[in-house]
């Protein structure tokens, strides 16, 4: 059953989406960040930064499900000690991207969200950040790391996950009723 806050309150657009579920069971070598960059866990309270990065990273790719989520529910996730909200920063303290690594399922880790802000795309930071997430999951004792992507994500998302050692386990066709307020301009009705 879908939570009430995910039900569109106003106009919405129905989208057919292929969701690809991937996993890796192969640890990677500890990555080295390029000079001037740092990766830090942001500890609670982090809702404002999380919401900003979620919007900035995912706005063009129809990331919307966390946007209407009530603060209390989002805080419950982010405040769990087994959930890691990791932010990639440049030397000036500007956030370049983030990932949310969920380690609550006893070694069956989930990369819940992952991405770069638009200004950081094309700088070859995605593979480095992905290696950080994979390394962190396995260093924490995970036996598997799962992630999913969909046909609305960045066009290179699936390929980048595969290059990062992930293999496709299955693909599911879904229909999403996306509130128009969260719809990327490229998908809006004319």
| Residue 100 banded pLDDT, cuts 50, 70, 90 | very high
Would the pLDDT of 108 be above 60? yes
- What's the confidence (pLDDT) of residue 127? 95
Mean pLDDT (the chain, rounded): 94
More confident residue, 137 or 5: 137
More confident residue, 7 or 42: 42
Share of the chain above pLDDT 90, in %: 86
Q: What is the DSSP string of 61-113?
A: GT--TTSSS-HHHHHHHHTSTTEEEEEEE-TTS-EEEEEEEE--STTEEEEEE
- What's the confidence (pLDDT) of residue 30? 84
Q: What is the per-residue pLDDT across 20-37, written as a single tens digit (0 to 9) for each? A: 999 999 998 888 899 999
| Residue 190 banded pLDDT, cuts 50, 70, 90 | very low
d(CA 64, CA 79): 21
- What's the confidence (pLDDT) of residue 131? 96
Where do the H-state alpha helices sit in the chain? 47-58, 71-78, 125-139, 157-163
106 Cβ neighbours under 8 A, 6+ residues apart: none
- What's the confidence (pLDDT) of residue 1? 66
Share of the chain above pLDDT 70, in %: 98
Burial of 114 (0-12, 13-18, 19+ CB in 10 A): buried
């Amino acid at each position: 059953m879908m939570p009430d806050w995910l039900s569109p309150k106003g106009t919405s657009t129905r989208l057919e989406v292929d969701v690809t579920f991937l996993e890796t069971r192969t640890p990677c070598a500890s990555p080295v960040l390029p000079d001037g960059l740092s990766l830090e866990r942001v500890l609670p309270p982090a809702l404002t930064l999380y919401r900003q990065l979620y919007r900035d990273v995912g706005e063009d790719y129809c990331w919307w499900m966390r946007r209407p989520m009530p603060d209390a529910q989002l805080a419950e996730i982010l405040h769990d000690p087994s959930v890691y909200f990791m932010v990639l920063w440049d030397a000036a303290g500007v956030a370049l991207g983030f990932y949310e690594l969920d380690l609550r399922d006893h070694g069956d880790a989930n990369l819940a969200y992952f991405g770069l802000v638009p200004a950081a795309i094309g700088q070859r930071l995605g593979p480095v950040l992905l290696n950080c997430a994979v390394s962190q999951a396995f260093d924490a004792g995970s036996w598997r790391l799962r992630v999913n992507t969909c046909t609305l994500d960045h066009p290179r998302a699936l390929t980048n996950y595969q290059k990062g050692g992930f293999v496709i386990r299955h693909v599911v066709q879904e229909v999403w009723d996306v509130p128009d307020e969260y719809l990327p301009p490229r998908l809006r009705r004319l």
